[in-house]
Structure 1
Amino acid sequence: MTEVKLGIGYDEFEDGQRIGTEIEKLSSSPESTSISSLIIGDWGQAYENSSEEVVDALVKYSASFPALRKLFIGEMGFEECEISWITQSDLSALLPTFPELQSLTIQGGNELSLSQLHHDKLEELIIISGGLGKGVLENIATGRLPNLRKLELYLGVDNYGFDGSVDDIFPIIQPGKFPKLTYLGLKNSEIQDEIAEAIADAPILNQLETLDLSLGTLSDKGGEALLASDRIKGLKALNLSHHYMSDEMMERWRKSGLPVDVSDKQESEDGDDWRYPSITE
């Protein structure tokens, strides 16, 4: 597998370099036809410039990347741009442009849209954000991804863009929506307890191998709902790490015999009930 990462630093952007030009240069290089994984980092002051130029350039020069199977849009550290500040755009045009694409990872939920989420071969969709808008959840719920095997959503908090509720998640976990799905991550959420209660007895668990509810604000309330579920017992892995469950609840999980990760216990701030997901800003 040939993997390439492109990005524009702050100084480079100030000097006039543009991500569209870098994609054009890559498309004309001898290695372009063998690139199977492409990572797009900072496209130049991403806190105020959207990823639209990235999308336009990839669509324009797509014929130069016939081997592309994995695409990551927005891979950048906090020193370049905080996750919640990354300005995305409608990435839908990338899907028909790369019909052989198997994996799409997106970092940053600000202005993100997947208005036409249709792809026959996409197996993996990961969206990392400090706050994912309910519009994107609706895009996923109404999309068509018959080959999807892994769906991983970092939902975040309302201060940084999450404006949905568990009602916006229900359509995603309906039976038959993603018939090949075996890994479901509904994580990094400020409503982790509500999600746990909603999914604890959901029929979709019958087809899953892994349920990932990590990095959020899960407490004994959500833990109790999961522990009482018979469907949970069929999982090969249950990730509840970074949680706010009590020592007593953790011990019950350890004695359950289930393949569960309850590591990284958090403490409520200043002894009150304020709980935070792992990734916000």
Structure 2
Amino acid sequence: MTIGEHLTQFGGLQVQQWEPGQPLGDTATTIHRIAVDYDDETAWTDKFRAFLALSGVEQSQGLVVGLWTDENMDGDSAPMIEALTAAHMHLPNLKTLFIGDITYEENEVSWITQGDLSPVLSAYPHLTHLGIRGGNELSLGQLHLPELRELIVQAGGLSAEVVREVMNATLPRLEHLELYLGEENYGATSAADDLTPLLDGSRFPALTYLGLKNSDHQDEIAQMFAHAPILEQLDVLDLSLGTLTDEGAAALLDSDRVKTLKKLNLTHHFCTEGMMEKLNALPIEVDTSDHQDDEDDWRFVALGE
């Protein structure tokens, strides 16, 4: 799996690329994406400054941050973070934010260096939708976003520290949690046990979609959550894009709580044909597409490099 296209919508709003000299789009339906190209002569911070000078920019409901440097993406993200943090007075209505809308042609996801985003997240306490792509040096700090409904973190590998920051976050209205946990070769250091705070459902009581995806510990995660009380509040359990085998699938198949879901997403997996037939016979929607051949016991997550 590669991410080959930029966002076209996020948080229920259309995403529109913006360049200096262009007018502000309809802020009722549109959020703007600000990015640089490799041959761009204008820095991201200069583009962002020009955007903030637009008449009506204070009505903007969201922002998408694309490529923020024309250098290697292991470069310094501090200027972007500082500019975004300082702009909070100009963007009082900002509720939707995606940082790192970067395709593989611009930079592989495992090479994106995010840095410490806690100043940004503190500056915009009314966020309802937050997306982040890239896990290198990522930190969320003490995450306290009382109105957040959706949190997506995409990476080839998430550190244990970031996973624990999410587990300890204060997000009382969170409905959609989607973590691309990744594999060790691309920076993943968390263990399945780091997800324990989710099991009883009390951590995020409004949660209806739980995506614990793209993990090289997918069997262990499946076994942990197959009988967990949190399933009773979920509509969707998403264990896709990882290294799930019959071992983890058997635990899901044996669970009465799994049968209370509306959907079980297992896309990109290493289960046998026989196990797929059993899973697809469950009385809920089950997605077992993108079956992978388990050649020489080599299993891989869908989004790595």
Which TM-score bucket, shorter chain as reference? Answer: over 0.9
Alpha-carbon distance, 1:277 to partner: 0.8
Q: Which residue of 1 aligns with 2:47?
A: 22
Q: Verify: 1:6 aligned to 2:34, yes or no.
A: yes
Q: Which residue of 1 aligns with 2:268?
A: 242
TM-score, normalised to structure 1, is 0.94
Q: Which residue of 2 aligns with 1:140?
A: 166
SS in structure 1 at match of 2:62: strand
Q: 1:191 aligns with which of 217, 221, 240?
A: 217
Alpha-carbon distance, 1:31 to partner: 4.0
Q: 1:202 aligns with which of 223, 228, 231?
A: 228
Q: Verify: 1:211 aligned to 2:237, yes or no.
A: yes
SS in structure 1 at match of 2:268: coil
- The answer as to whether partners of 1:212 and 1:240 remain within 8 angstroms in 2 is yes
**Counterpart of 1:58 in structure 2: which amino acid?**
L
**Per-residue CA distance 1:41-69 (angstroms, 9 max, x = gap):** 11013522243222211121112222322
- The answer as to whether partners of 1:46 and 1:87 remain within 8 angstroms in 2 is no
Q: 1:33 aligns with which of 40, 45, 58?
A: 58
Alpha-carbon distance, 1:251 to partner: 0.7
Matches of residues 242-281 of structure 1 in structure 2 within 5 Å?
A: 242-268=268-294, 271-281=295-305
**Per-residue CA distance 1:218-271 (angstroms, 9 max, x = gap):** 111111000101111111111011111111011111222221111111112xx3
Name which of structure 1's ranges 39-48 and 165-174 shifts more when overlaid on structure 2: 165-174
SS in structure 2 at match of 1:272: helix
- The answer as to whether partners of 1:131 and 1:160 remain within 8 angstroms in 2 is yes
SS in structure 2 at match of 1:208: coil
SS in structure 1 at match of 2:164: helix
* Long gaps (5+) in structure 2: 1-28
- The answer as to whether partners of 2:132 and 2:152 remain within 8 angstroms in 1 is yes
Identity %: 45
> Could you tell me how far apart the structure 2 residues matched to 1:123 and 1:63 are?
23
**Per-residue CA distance 1:169-216 (angstroms, 9 max, x = gap):** 212434310111111000011111010001111111111111100011
**Counterpart of 2:60 in structure 1: which amino acid?**
I
**Counterpart of 2:35 in structure 1: which amino acid?**
G
Alpha-carbon distance, 1:116 to partner: 1.7
Alpha-carbon distance, 1:6 to partner: 0.5
Provide closer, same or farther for how the CA distance between residues 249 and 39 of structure 1 changes in structure 2, counting only shifts above 3 A. Answer: same
> Could you tell me how far apart the structure 2 residues matched to 1:279 and 1:122 are?
25
> Could you tell me how far apart the structure 2 residues matched to 1:118 and 1:53 are?
23
Q: 2:176 aligns with which of 150, 172, 189?
A: 150
Matches of residues 171-190 of structure 1 in structure 2 within 5 Å?
A: 171-190=197-216
The structure with the greater share of residues assigned to helix is 1
TM-score, normalised to structure 2, is 0.87
> Could you tell me how far apart the structure 2 residues matched to 1:130 and 1:204 are?
26
**Counterpart of 1:9 in structure 2: which amino acid?**
D
> Could you tell me how far apart the structure 1 residues matched to 2:175 and 2:276 are?
29
Q: Verify: 1:75 aligned to 2:65, yes or no.
A: no
